[in-house]
Structures are given as C-alpha cells and as structure tokens.
A = this chain, B = another copy of it.
Amino acid sequence: MKLSEIADFLSLDYKGEDLEIKALNSLLRANFMELTYCDGEKNIKDIANTGAGAILIAKEYEHLVPKHTKVLISSNAHLHFAFLSKIFANSLISDVKEKKQQIAKSAKIMPNVYLGNNILIGENVIIMAGAYIGDNVEIGDDTIIHPNVVIYNDTKIGKKCHLLANCVIGSDGFGYAHNKNGEHYKIYHNGNVILEDFVEIGACTTIDRAVFDSTVIKKGTKIDNLVQVGHNCHIGENCIIVAQSGISGSSELGRNVIMGGQSATSGHLKIGNFATIAARGGVSKNLDGGKVYGGFPIMLQKDWLKLQAKIALKFKEK
C-alpha cells in the first residue's frame, strides 16, 4: 500500500515523496519499507533510532524523527495505527485450493482435526481429536497436541512439547486504541507465538500472540492450567508458572523463575533469573533475580510473612 494511499485512508495530509509500505512494525524494528507509530512519552527516546520508512506521530514530536523516515502527522497515532492494523492483518483463513502440508509419516493425526496451509509437522507428532492447526504452523518432533487445542496461524512449536487439552496458543492480544468518545478499536496482531523445545502448556491456558515480533516461551518452561500469558511476553528457560497465574503484556521473566498459583505481573516489567513469586504475589515493578517475593504490593516473601504476623498481633492487642 502506498504511503499516499494510507494518508488518504486515514484522512491525513501527506505531501512528500511516495513510498510502498509493506507492513507495520514497532519503532525499533521497522525497516525502510515499514510504517511505525509513536503514541507518546514512553517511546520518545526511540524515535531517533527508528529505521522505519514512515511514522505516524503527533506534531509536537515531528522534530525528533530522523531524516530517512517520512512523517504522517496524527493527533491520535495509536488510533490511526489501529485502523491500519486491520488493513495489514494477515487473513485468518487461507483460501488456497491445495494446501501445502509437510507432515512426517510417523506423525499421527486423529479425527476431526483441522490442518491449515503451509504447515510443517515433525516426526512422531501426535495431534489429538478436535485440535485446530492454523496456517504456517510448525510443530517439532515428538510434540503432542492434545484434544481441542487451538493453535493459531504462524505459531512455531519446538520438539517434545505437551500442549494440554483446550489450551489456546496465538490468539490476538488484548490491545485497543481509543477515540474521543471512549470507543475502542482493535489492534490486529501480526506477530506470533514461539514455544521452544520441552515446553508444556496446561489445559485451558491462553498464550497471546505478539503485536509484532513474538511472544516467546523458552526451552523447558512448564505452564500449568488456566494461566494467561499476554502479548509480547518473553518467558525464560525452565520457568514454572503455576495455575491461574497471569503475566501481563511485554513482561520478561528470566530463567528458572517460579510464579506461584494465582500470582500475576503488570505489563512491561522484568523479573530476574531464579526469582520465585509466592502464590498470589502481585508483581508491579522490576524484581532482582535469586530472591523469593510475595504479597501485593510485592515485597520479599519473608517480609510479607513478618508484616502479616505484625499486623495480626498489633490489631489483636486493641
């Protein structure tokens, strides 16, 4: 789509040289054929470093844009980006007549399974009844996809993984832009999910795809039932995420992090290697590795235990 057409579509002024835009991408990842956006304070520092061909940006930040990046001035860059995300979204279902499917002979596909186009199924993979395998999905050797699991388009799954019944991998993240009337516009997510080798995903657990790039669950990480992993999270190697935990978008866990049952994190934060979050811990800031945390607001678990004891004692006295 030409940049001039994009400007027309968004009813924005654009008078510079034209440009073919192939895709949308984030500030730091966009290349010269891609359009990006900046919607405010938190990303300003990255503007100067963008390699994007074009950017949607507020008038006040225009002077920060590097010369190689063409500018579309927008009073609501996030909303305009949402409109474009729909245009650039990959189609949910491919319309090809003959699907390209590379399925190992040793793989076992049970009845009532849906297999998309351009998929790659490794040796000894088992895909159990009722599972949905979207387009461009890759599944490594010896992985087992349990009944009624849904794997959306573009997901890459390693070897020797177990995906338990009714889990959902690669659904769109929960991202919206808003207009002045408080109406929400869906950000279509064109990233994907990558599950590395030896990953296990519990029943009815949901892993959202990235806006751009990938939501990544690294090698050996085990996730229990009914867990939510938001878009663009990076979960390190050998983590243990216990049932009903929630990890908000763009959070990063190091390796061997343990999240107790019903624990949670806010978005955009980092938890260091070998940190443990006790059950119900609510993480709202970055945490160093190697320690045990608990409570909400989060603190060292030993401090939380002491604090609760003191509170109980203090108010019992009176």
Contact = CB atoms under 8 A, between A and B. Distances in A.
Interface of A: 92-93, 108, 110-112, 114, 126, 128-130, 132, 144, 146-148, 150, 152, 162, 164-166, 168, 171-172, 174, 176, 182-184, 186, 198, 200, 202-206, 208, 220, 222, 224-226, 228, 230, 238, 240, 242-244, 246, 248, 255-256, 261-262, 264, 266, 274, 279-280, 282, 296-297, 299, 306-308, 310-312, 314-315, 318
Q: Which of A171, A256, A310 has the most CB of B within 10 A?
A: A171
Number of copies: 3
11 contacts: A130-B130, A162-B186, A174-B202, A176-B222, A176-B240, A182-B238, A183-B220, A203-B206, A204-B204, A204-B226, A226-B228
A243 to B, nearest CB: 4
A201 to B, nearest CB: 11
Nearest to A304: B297
A296 B186 CA distance: 31
A147 B114 CA distance: 9
A164 B208 CA distance: 11
Contacts of A203: 150, 168, 171, 206
A114 B132 contact: no
Nearest to A164: B171
A297 B308 contact: yes
B166 A243 contact: no
B312 A307 contact: yes
A128 B152 CA distance: 11
> Would you call the interface of chain A mostly helix, strand, loop, or mixed?
loop
A222 B184 contact: yes
Contacts of A318: 310
A162 B318 CA distance: 50
Given A206-B203, A238-B182, A128 B92 contact: yes
Contact of A93 (B110, B174, B176, B280): B110
A262 B247 CA distance: 11
Given A132-B148, A315-B307, A168 B174 contact: no
Contact of A202 (B150, B171, B266): B171
B238 A183 contact: yes
A129 B114 contact: yes
Contact of A92 (B112, B144, B242): B144
Contacts of A172: 162, 164
Contacts of A183: 198, 220, 238
A108 to B, nearest CB: 7
Contacts of A146: 150, 171
A150 B176 contact: no
A126 B266 contact: no
